[in-house]
Structure 1
Amino acid sequence: MSAAGLYLKRNILILDEPTSVLTPDEADEVLSTLKKLTQAGQVTIVTITHKFREVNAFCDTVTILRRGKLVDTRPTTELDNDLMAEMMVGRRDTRGTVERETMMPGKVVLKLEGLSVADHVGQLAVDALDLDVRAGEIVGVAGVSGNGQREMVETLAGQRDAEAGRMLVHGEVYTAKRAEMIRHKIAYLPEEPLRNACVAEMSVAENMALRSFDQAPASPDGVRLKRSPMRETARKLIDAYRVTTPGPDAPIKALSGGNVQRAVLARELSSDGDLLIVANPCFGLDFAAVAEIRARIVQTRNRGAAVLLVSEDLDEILQLSDRIVVMFDGKLALQTDGKTADVGPIGRAMAGH
């Protein structure tokens, strides 16, 4: 769309997250080209982004909005990341600094052995993939969209069958059935949770009970459903995870994206799972929701759970991961330690170089 606008000789370009599907090198190349055009006076660009690095490197002025209202407009040189974050959230103490406790990874919780998965047209999207995730670590899976990440996650969640290979959890063959997910304490936070992890017409309380509706206290005998304890459990989770909702009986589709995400995360983490599978958890959320969701993910890791984080946001991967792998064309193109990760090699691996 940027190229089309330039080809049509538009004087003003409005770009919404223009680098979301680009590698770091590609993003820098595109933004550098646009920057040169603005410096030459050929075009005016308004870009909407949450990436501080790109703001600092390529923007002349910054306008910050919070809840639909203008907070401030300043030259980029007058702002730093902390100040921008504070202005976006409204107060310094809610920025949700992510702190990973120093710990050695434990036993392998999730193991993929030669996993191959086809996409919706039958083409191989995941190709003989081998991957381990250990207790007490976050393994971040980076990559440009369309390189097998979605198919891998859907297979782990039981939404797609594998063509070959196998999955193991705690050393046992795992076929992603509900009973196995409960027994192995597997939690799953998909992208677009309202569509992929909720029944939109049902209430917040009913959606929060989807994992445990046939267990006490919601169902003492596994047959009859008692709504009173279900609502009480929902109220506790709403308070603990700060879900903004009129109440447990409100339809979940009426909640904001961030609050739907909080509600699903509350449901999935309420049982202190051993494995958390997360896909693009913060896409489209406001800064405060992003900070809180990321903090919850790290808290899960800090208590000893294994976390598989699949994200197209490289900044998120770098911030949260103990170990980083890059998927390209359905295979692992790179593995690196999170502490020593270098954006250059990661970006080249994302591009297949």
Structure 2
Amino acid sequence: MIDAPATPIGALPRGLGAMSLETCGLGMRFGGFDALRDVNLKVAPGTVHALLGENGAGKSTLVKCVAGFQRPTSGSVLVDGREQAIANPVVARELGIGMVYQHFTLAPGMTVAENLLLAGGRVPARIDWRRERERLAAFLDTTPFRLDLEAKPQALAAGEKQKLELLKQLFLKPRLLILDEPTSVLTPQEADEVLGHVRGFALSGLCTVVIITHKFREVMAYADDVTVLRRGQAVHHAAVAQTDPTKLAQAMVGGAEAPSEVVDADAAMVSAAVASPGNAPPALEVQGLSAMGDRGTLAVRDLSLSVAPGEILGVAGVSGNGQRELVEALVGQRARAAGRVRVQGEPYAARREENHRLKVRSLPEEPLRSACVGDLSVAQNMALRDFDRPPLCAGGRLRFSEWRRRAREWIADYGIKTQGENAPIRSLSGGNVQRAVLARELHGQISVLIAANPVFGLDFAAVREIHGRLREVKRQGGAVLLISEDLDELLELADRIVVMSGGGIAFETPAAQADRQTLGAHMGGGH
């Protein structure tokens, strides 16, 4: 790797090669809430160390303390055995600490070359672009990633943006690299490429890597050691070679249950209990569907698919290939330019009356934005689907006491954490908003359920619960169209998988015969 931009004048003394990292009794308090409590962590130099934990377990808070974005309220951070006061990200960078965030931090109107130079923190008043392009091209030759230096991030695919985020940090030759969910927008091949390169970088002795992930497969394949955080405390440390996903899952949730992706007994029982849907007439049938995108071009192109009763059809694809527009066209939030949709053999235009009569339900991504009215109460949002029907309405009069009674019942049944049924739904956490929408949409008999990234951003316990609810819909004979950017989720839940690319269906396979690499090739536009 070539020399990175010079460190600012007055920088802290910087060591060479991979860094050792240790936290001793680290604590972080926000008001009366302890985000971290007495966390002890040791990361050996030249290793990949994974951090696991549910949402809110303290993972992001921990790495932000290391990267200088937050000052811990107690405890200390040791770099190469010496305590360091990392007051801000500039100090962290001078020590050799870099971080790739879950969300993109690129300057969209600037080129790849300009984004790489900006990563150094200081740019001269005059830039010798010929020299800098030669330097950047030489740097790219040391990595497995090929990006056009003149391209702008707004023209890059999500996977290319993630690679650019990683390249920004590698260009600075970090001694410690922190990665926050680095593969969430990548195809399987891209994920393996990125993590393989990062692991090779660590094994070379040039860098130490700390990776936050929720995927057990990535931990087992690419990490040397793993630490599990639960409720702000480090509850489990292990060498990856001496642990397994079941133990890690138990540490995450504090119980004796194995994750459904590891021990999938529920799915096996469901498969045995439900007859094969292959010969059943479709519960949902889409033929030649097209829909315009937000930029005035076709986002969904002549798409056809069908889902049988008692079947989960998974739709895979890298973000931006028409999945969002497909869901919106199906549920009535986007106009259809062509094609037809049938439910139980009847034409379906996603009108409210049709939803009731044909028993169609939906679990949208970002439910607070797409399926709720934020200022209305939990009880009022739970009543949006049937507020004008018995028992919520009688004799033309709305029965608000019945709205509240049912809401209290659902809050208890679904374990929704809220100050009460009268609290505004926007006051709930993302997982609890999703549970509230889930309670509403899964009430009563279901013929078709359209679920779009239903567990995105949710913690481990919420993921298990929602996956169980989807399986229950299938067990009772409902058809589930599951659109997800998480291939592991689709391989776990679906009976069949189709891949969306360029607004259409590029590939289809029974899930039992699905090959991760083949799916990834079609997701990336290859064959």
Q: Distance in 2 between matches of 1:67 and 1:117?
A: 44
C-alpha distance 44-8 of structure 1, shift in aligned 2 (>3 A): same
Q: Using the TM superposition, name which of 269-278 and 87-96 deviates more.
A: 87-96
In the alignment, what sits opposite 2:358? 184
Map of 1:131-280 to 2, 5 A cutoff?
A: 131-221=305-395, 223-280=396-453
SS state at 2:415 partner: coil
Greater relative CO (CA pairs within 8 A, separation 6+): 1
Whether 1:59 aligns to 2:200 is: no
Structure 1 residue 33 displacement after superposition: 0.5
Q: What corresponds to 2:294 in structure 1?
A: 120
Please give the per-residue CA displacement for 1:221-257, whole angstroms capped at 9, x wherever unaligned: 3x42221111111122122222222321122222222
- C-alpha separation between the residues in 1 aligned to 2:419 and 2:222? 41
Q: Which moved more, 1:256-265 or 1:138-147?
A: 256-265
Could you tell me how far apart the structure 2 residues matched to 1:323 and 1:149 are? Answer: 17
Segments ≥4 residues shifted beyond 3 Å: 93-98
Most deviating of 117-126 and 8-17: 8-17
> What is the number of residues matched between the two proteins?
352
Q: Which moved more, 1:299-308 or 1:249-258?
A: 249-258
Contact 1:89 1:95 in 2 (8 A): no
- Structure 2: how far apart are the matches of 1:271 and 1:299? 12
Bigger Cα Rg: 2
- Matched with 2:148 is none
Q: Distance in 2 between matches of 1:249 and 1:300?
A: 29
Amino acid at match of 1:125: A
Q: Secondary structure at the match of 2:397?
A: coil
| Larger displacement relative to structure 2 (234-243 or 328-337) | 234-243
SS at match of 1:108: coil
Write out per-residue CA displacement over residues 295-316 of structure 1, whole angstroms, 9 at most, x where no aligned residue: 0000111100000000000000
Q: Which residue of 1 aligns with 2:484?
A: 311
Cα distance per residue 1:59-84 (max 9 Å; x no partner)? 11111112333222221112101111
Unaligned runs of 5+ in 2: 1-164
Measured after TM superposition, the shift of residue 94 of structure 1 is 7.8
Q: What SS is found at the alignment partner of 2:301?
A: strand
* Cα distance between partner residues in 2 of 1:29 and 1:95: 26
Q: Which residue is equivalent to 2:276? A: 104
Number of the residue aligned with 1:347: 520
CA RMSD of aligned residues (A): 1.4
In 2, the alpha carbon distance for the partners of 1:291 and 1:3 equals 34
Long gaps (5+) in structure 1: none
Measure how far apart 1:280 and its partner are. 0.4
Query: How far has the Cα of 1:326 moved from its partner?
Result: 0.6
Q: In the TM superposition, what is the alpha-carbon distance from 1:154 to its structure 2 partner?
A: 0.6
What TM-score does the superposition give when structure 2 sets the normalisation length?
0.65
Give the SS at the match of 1:92.
coil
The reply to whether residue 331 of structure 1 matches residue 504 of structure 2 is yes
Structure 1 window deviating more from structure 2 (171-180 vs 135-144): it is 171-180
Q: Which residue of 2 aligns with 1:130?
A: 304
User: Which residue in the other structure is 2:29 paired with?
Assistant: none
Task: State the Cα distance separating 1:101 from its structure 2 match.
Answer: 3.1
